[in-house]
Chains A and B, each alone.
Chain A
Amino acid sequence: MTSMSGAEAIAAQTDYLAEFRIGSEPYYRPVGQEIALFDAAYQARMPIMLKGPTGCGKTRFVEHMAWRLKRPLITVSCHEDMTASDLVGRYLLDADGTVWHDGPLTLAVRLGAICYLDEIVEARQDTTVVIHSLTDDRRILPLEKKNEVLPAHPDFQVVISYNPGYQSVLKDLKESTKQRFGAIAFSYPEPAIEAEIVAREAGVERRIADTLVRIAQRSRNLKGHGLDEGASTRMLINAGLLAAKGIPLADACQVAMVLPITDDPELRDALTAAIAACM
């Protein structure tokens, strides 16, 4: 059995870490207190939950914060089939025998990165419990397979994202998981700010961005009345990107919003009519 000491691993992986550093400032338009809040939470190394609907800027925000705090950022998109080993790491076979391979979480713990677990509820509950010991004052990660207990690097922090509108009874965070986190609420920014973001990210005129935001509000009114979720900022940007390529706005909205968001023909009709009212 071969294994590296922690120091060896760091030596071997310093280059590896470089790819997780964020070089230039990711554009993020502050919406409220979130930057100050996150800053303070990071100083206390408090685990943070970013709560809000999909596509409202959570991922972009962590990227921005990692850049601001000059920490590497390791992002994991959670999914149903993810196991604890996928996060922590596992032995793999090679020609000479077996070799331990750090998972992304372990890597972040060792090297002092921010570990961002995106859409954490998608992972099964027995997977997510591995973060428990990292999110209380122990700040350790037991690597059971390796018989090792890894103390977290002082710079390490866990951030998770969580979409409250999403989960069913079957898919929710355990109470014991939830209670370890501080939370920052995200929602779609107010119209003027959202339009500013859309105009910049999609490269469209402000006038078009304003219209797109108006359209988004129409779809968000249907949340809970046929739609699980209204059109996200991301969808608006997508529509804007198409419009910037010369696609008429109404068509761009069909492609980027109406068709992806629902399969119900009546709702599509209603949305299409509402979109017409916005232009």
Chain B
Amino acid sequence: MGTQTLSKDPFNIIITGVGGQGNVLASRVLANMLVHRGYDVTIGETFGASQRGGSVMSHIRVSARGAWSPQIPKGKADMVVSLEPVEAIRVMKDYGNEEVRILVNDRPIYPVGVIAGELNYPARDEIEGALKDLSKHVWFIDATEEAIRLGNPILGNVIMIGAACGLGILPVGRAEFAEVMKGSLAADKLEINLTAFDLGAAKLAATA
């Protein structure tokens, strides 16, 4: 599913979500896949607040030309993988543009302000409308639901990585995913992760 080379250098990916969603791990996996293919990757992440319900974002810069800033310049994201719906909207303010590919996990995590009734969480079609107004390429994926069906909600992140690869614009795919996961997982866990990856990839391959 992967391309031969980078369609842009540096290619800028944002993985965004909420503390506790496994954002940092997801960005490591994707980054290591790219390192595996020989690319220079710089990841910038803020995880001081990562366990405590704040917005958490990783910036992945992929290049054949060395290290870049761990913060993507304004308006220069090429792909956004959002593990939570409104987080996708939030990153567009600083990094968005009309061509950015946006992949959204469809499962909301409500901010405490929303839980407390002080703030409003927009309805699903409002979120979709907002994102489509900001980019030509938006996909919603029921990753957490699928992951619960597979037996563990955390697999939602793997489904999202699979979906990102399924888009067919990254120079990596299943082989690199398997290679990276092999290094960090027990054999019995590998299979379910591959299933999740394939599931995500298939969702995008069908629509892209």
Please determine whether chains A and B interact with each other in the same assembly.
no
Q: A-side interface residues toward B, CB under 8 Å? A: none
